[in-house]
Amino acid sequence: MTASTDPDFRARLAALNAKFAATVPSTMDKIAQALAACNASIEDGQPGAEPLHQLHELLHGVAGSAGTFGYATLGQEARRIEQQVRAVMKQGSGWAPVPAQVERLLAWAARDPGAIEFDTSN
């Protein structure tokens, strides 16, 4: 018997997936709060280092774990935005398009974070 056919393994995996799913709304709330902190700390067109770091860490966490628990698209989009935030952190510029990207992710995740396609048209 392999792990994929072991009913106990499958049950544990399903429980972990459900646990992750339950955390998505609060994680998205934390990302929204971090974005608000970034926007509130802007000087010379760039957010403060600490709020920016917090936003990066939250996106990084979603990017690293979402796919494991069946939320591949959520993870991919979080990774894409995380990379933008990382570039802002390194270069000290480029913040302007990031808030809209995060807002689109949050709106999409509020509708269906487990969706296969990242569709922001609704």
Residue range 57-102, pLDDT digits in tens? 999 999 999 998 989 999 999 999 999 999 999 999 999 999 999 9
- The residue type of 15 is A
Domain spans, the chain: 7-111
Residue range 64-74, pLDDT digits in tens? 999 989 899 99
Annotation: CATH topology of 7-111: Four Helix Bundle (Hemerythrin (Met), subunit A) (1.20.120)
- Whether residue 83 contacts residue 98, with contact meaning beta carbons closer than 8 Å, is answered with no
pTM of the model: 0.90
Q: CA-to-CA distance for 56 and 121, rounded, in angstroms?
A: 25
Q: Which residue reads 């048209």 in tokens? A: 121
Q: CA-to-CA distance for 79 and 74, rounded, in angstroms?
A: 9
Number of alpha carbons in the 13 Å side-chain half-sphere of residue 32: 14
